[in-house]
Structure 1
Amino acid sequence: MHDRRRVLVVIDSMEVGGSQRQVQHLLDGLDRQHWEPELAYFRSDSFLVDAIRASGITVHYLPKRGRLDMRFLASYALLLRERNYALVHAYSLTAELWTLPARFLSGLRPVLVASERSSVRNDRPAWYWWLKRIVLGRSAAVIANSEAGAHSTAQRTRMPASLFTTIANDVGLPAPVSTEDKAAMRQSIGAPEGDLFGLFVGRLVPVKNLECLVRALAMLAPAQRPWLALAGDGPLRDAIAQLAADHGVASRLRFLGERPDATQLMQAADFLVLPSHFEGLSNALLEAMAAGCPVIASAVGGSVELIEHGRTGLLFPSDDAGAFATLIARMANPDLRTSLSLAGRQHVEQHHSQAALVAGTTAVYERCLLNAGPAAVSTLAHADQGR
C-alpha cells in the first residue's frame, strides 16, 4: 500500500477507560507513512485527548447535546464529507449508530469497521442486539478484543463468525521503580505503613461489582483486611462508600478519584482486584500484570483468556464474595505475590505488545479497503485535489 489513507477513529466518550486507552495506543502506533489517523469524540474530555493531540494527531470534538441531536449529526456528516476518510473505525455502539446516517448524509461511503469491547452481557436488552445487528450488517468487519466477546456478539446478533477478528488489547512494559519510589507513592495516598495494599483501577459503575469487594472485605477478620485504594470515579462512588460504612470496613477503603498515574500506583501496590460481572479484555488487568502487580479477578469474559489461575493471576467465580475473600487473604504470602508478578509480566510481554495491536488492526483495515474496491478507497491525494 503506497498511498496514505485517512482513517477516523470515533468513540462517544474520551473519559479515562480501557477502550479510550486502546484508542490512544492505536492512533499513536499507526504508521504515518501509510495512514493519516484522526480522532472524533462526542463528550467527556480527559488527559488522554491531550496526549493524542500532543502526538500530532488531529482531534475533532463534536458536542452531542442529547440522545437525538440533529445539529450533531449535521456536523458529523460535514466532517466526513470535508475530510473524505477512507475508513471509519467506530469504538462504541453510539459511534457506530451515528456513523450510519452521517455516512449517508455526507454523500460518501467510507468503509465502516465496528467493534466489540465487552464480553457476554446478559444485562443488555433485546433492542441493543437489534441495533447492533443493524450496524454489523453494514460493517466491513468487526474487531473484538476477546474471543468471548466475538463469540457472544456473533450469537446474539446472528451474524457470521467470519465477520469478526479478535485482536487483544496491548500494554506497554513500564520501567522498574525503586523501593524508595514505591514507598513514596504509598505514603502520598495514605497507605498505612506495613499493611497489605490492594488496588482497584476503573470506573465506579455497576458492571465492576465493587459491592462484591466490600462484602469480601467484611468477611475477613480485621487483622486480615488489606488497605484498598479505588483509582477512578463514577456514579456509584457514594453508594460504595455507604456500603463500606454499613459493613464496618470504611476505614480500609480510600477513594482516589481519576488518576493519570495508574501505572505507578500498580507498581506500588501489593495486588490489584477486578470483581466485574462482565469484562472484555481488561486494560486494568493487562497494565497491572505489565507493572508486575499480582491480580485477582472474577472468572468472566476475557479475564479467563488472560489469566491462568495460580500462575499468572488468581480467579474466583463471579460474585462469590467468600471465594474472593479467600484469595485476598492468600495475597499476604509474599512468595505467591512474587511468583504471580513474574509470570504475569512475562505473559504480557509475549502476547500483548503495541506492535501486535497495530499490525492486527491495520491488516483488517487493508483487507476491508481491498474488498471495497478502488471506488471506495480515498487517498490523501484525492482529498487534496478536491479542496
Structure 2
Amino acid sequence: MRILQLTHQGDIGGSTNSITWLTRGLARRGHEVHLACRPESLLASRFTDGSVRRVDMRLGRGPSLIAAARHWKRWMEEHDIEVANAHASLDRRVLSYARLLGLRSRVVHTRRNVALSSGGVLRSRFDAATTDAIIAVSENVAAGMRRRGMPGDHVRVIRNGLPLDEVAQPDPSRVERLRGELGLRPGVPVAGTMARRKSQEELLAAAARLPFPLEIVFAGFEADDAIRRAAAELPDRVTWRCLGFRDDVADLTGLLDVFVLPSTIEGFSLALLEAMVRARPCIASDAGGNAEALAEGAGLIVPPGDVPALAAALESVLSSPERGRELGERAHVRATTEYDVERTVDRTESLYRELVA
C-alpha cells in the first residue's frame, strides 16, 4: 500500500515514539510509506536513511488550513496515496477538509485522548463524515468519543505498544551508582514517575500522608510552581528530586519501588508500559487507558485526583515488599504478552487493508 502518515507535532512525547514505531513497522513490511512532518522535529530526525519518504509539512491555524488541504489533496493525488493517517489536531483538520474537497484516498484519524476542548456532537458528526475510520488508542478514548456522538462502528480501538527488544532493562550496577549520586537514603522506599507532566503534584500530596519516610524521584519534566508548592508541604521524612529530561530512564526506573502515574487526561501511556516491562509495581489513576493497561491484577488503579486513595495505594504496596514484587511480575507478564508494538502494526495494517479493499 501507499501510505501517508501526518503530524504537525513530532517532538518529545509518547505520540512521537508511537508514530515512529508504526511508520518503521509498516515500511519494514514492504509498504511505500510517506511521512509528513516539520523538518526540524525530533520525528523527522529519526527518518534519514531513505526507508521512509519524508515530506516537509508546516501548518498554521485558521484559513491557512484550507490552503493546506488543497495542497495535500493535490500531493496525495500525484503520489496515488491509498491511505492517509493524521495523528494530531491540525493535520486531522487538513485531511477532513481535503475530503470535503474531493480527496479519494482513505482518511484515518488517530485519537490519543479526548480533550475537554475536542467538541461535541456536531464535531463528532463532522469527523465521522470526513473520515473512513478513527483509531482510538484505548477503550476509554473510544468510549469518550462515542459519548460525544461518534458512531460506535466508526471507531476502532488499536492500543499502543512497545518494541520490546528495544526497551532497555535497568543495569543493577548503574542503578546503585545512581542511588549514591542522588543521595537516596539506605532502606527508604522510592516512588516516582518517569514521564512528562502528569499531575505529579498529587504524588507529593499523597506522600505527605504516609506515616513512613519516602524518597520521590521525577524525570521527564522540569519542576514548576505547582510541584514546588506541593513539595513545600512535605514533612521532613519525605524528600524529592525533579531531574528534568534524562537519557538514563531505564536505570532511574530501576530505583523505584513503585511507579506512579496520576494522570487526569491520558491516552494509552507508553511511560506506564515501559515501567511494566521493567517489572515495576505500578499505581495509576483511572484515566485514559491506564485501567486497561493494568487489568487482571497487573497494578493498582485509583480515581483521578483522589489523594487519599493514592496514599492508601502507596502504603499498601510499600508496606509489603512481597506484594510489590508480585505486582511487578504481573505487570511485566502483561506488558510483554499484550503490548508488543508488532500487534499495533498488525492491527493498523489490517484496518488499512480493509479500507482500501
- How has the CA–CA distance of structure 1 residues 254 and 83 changed in structure 2, closer, same or farther, with 3 Å as cutoff? farther
Q: For residue 322 of structure 1, report the CA deviation from its aligned partner.
A: 1.0
- How has the CA–CA distance of structure 1 residues 330 and 298 changed in structure 2, closer, same or farther, with 3 Å as cutoff? same
Q: For residue 324 of structure 1, report the CA deviation from its aligned partner.
A: 0.7
Q: Within 2, Cα distance between the matches of 1:259 and 1:49?
A: 21
- May I ask how many residue pairs the two structures share in their alignment? 352
The residue identity in structure 1 corresponding to 2:253 is M
- How has the CA–CA distance of structure 1 residues 264 and 81 changed in structure 2, closer, same or farther, with 3 Å as cutoff? farther
Matches within 5 A, 1:323-334: 323-332=309-318, 333-334=320-321
Q: Within 1, Cα distance between the matches of 2:356 and 2:153?
A: 17
Q: Please give the TM-score of this superposition, normalised by the length of structure 1.
A: 0.80
Partner residue in 2 for 1:239 = 225
Select which of 217, 230, 252 maps to 1:228.
Answer: 217
Partner residue in 2 for 1:196 = 189
Partner residue in 2 for 1:164 = 155
TM-superposition CA deviations, 1:336-385 (whole Å, max 9, x none): 22111111110111111122111100000000011xxxxxxxxxxxxxxx
RMSD over aligned Cα, in angstroms?
Answer: 2.9
Q: Within 2, Cα distance between the matches of 1:25 and 1:272?
A: 24
Q: Within 2, Cα distance between the matches of 1:42 and 1:357?
A: 24
Structure 1: runs of 5 or more not aligned: 371-387
Q: For residue 22 of structure 1, report the CA deviation from its aligned partner.
A: 1.2
Q: For residue 289 of structure 1, report the CA deviation from its aligned partner.
A: 0.3
- How has the CA–CA distance of structure 1 residues 212 and 197 changed in structure 2, closer, same or farther, with 3 Å as cutoff? same
Q: For residue 12 of structure 1, report the CA deviation from its aligned partner.
A: 2.7
Is the 1:116–1:143 Cα contact (8 Å) retained in structure 2? yes
Residue 180 in 1 paired to residue 173 in 2?
A: yes
The residue identity in structure 1 corresponding to 2:303 is P
Q: For residue 194 of structure 1, report the CA deviation from its aligned partner.
A: 4.1
Partner residue in 1 for 2:126 = 134
Q: Within 2, Cα distance between the matches of 1:363 and 1:100?
A: 22
Q: For residue 74 of structure 1, report the CA deviation from its aligned partner.
A: 6.2
The residue identity in structure 2 corresponding to 1:109 is R
Select which of 39, 52, 56 maps to 2:51.
Answer: 56
**SS at structure 1 position matched to 2:142:** helix
Residue 16 in 1 paired to residue 12 in 2?
A: yes
Structure 2: runs of 5 or more not aligned: none
Partner residue in 2 for 1:345 = 332
TM-superposition CA deviations, 1:153-203 (whole Å, max 9, x none): 12312x321112211211233354442122234445554554322221333
Residue 219 in 1 paired to residue 206 in 2?
A: no
Higher relative contact order (CA 8 A, sep 6+): 1
Of stretches 48-57 and 79-88 in structure 1, the one that deviates more from structure 2 is 48-57
Partner residue in 2 for 1:92 = 88
**SS at structure 2 position matched to 1:226:** strand
The residue identity in structure 2 corresponding to 1:210 is Q
Q: Within 1, Cα distance between the matches of 2:168 and 2:346?
A: 24
Partner residue in 1 for 2:136 = 144
Q: For residue 257 of structure 1, report the CA deviation from its aligned partner.
A: 2.3
TM-superposition CA deviations, 1:25-70 (whole Å, max 9, x none): 1112115454122222359823x54334458323334233555546
Is the 2:219–2:245 Cα contact (8 Å) retained in structure 1? no
Percent identity between matched residues is: 25
Is the 1:232–1:259 Cα contact (8 Å) retained in structure 2? no
Q: For residue 81 of structure 1, report the CA deviation from its aligned partner.
A: 4.6
- How has the CA–CA distance of structure 1 residues 103 and 124 changed in structure 2, closer, same or farther, with 3 Å as cutoff? closer
- How has the CA–CA distance of structure 1 residues 259 and 342 changed in structure 2, closer, same or farther, with 3 Å as cutoff? same
Is the 2:161–2:343 Cα contact (8 Å) retained in structure 1? yes
Is the 2:193–2:259 Cα contact (8 Å) retained in structure 1? yes
Runs of 4+ in 1 over 6 A off after TM superposition: none
**SS at structure 2 position matched to 1:113:** strand
Q: Within 1, Cα distance between the matches of 2:329 and 2:100?
A: 51
Is the 1:62–1:76 Cα contact (8 Å) retained in structure 2? no
Q: Within 1, Cα distance between the matches of 2:265 and 2:275?
A: 18
Partner residue in 2 for 1:263 = 250
Q: Which has the higher helix share?
A: 1
Is the 2:204–2:234 Cα contact (8 Å) retained in structure 1? no
The residue identity in structure 2 corresponding to 1:95 is D
Q: Please give the TM-score of this superposition, normalised by the length of structure 2.
A: 0.86
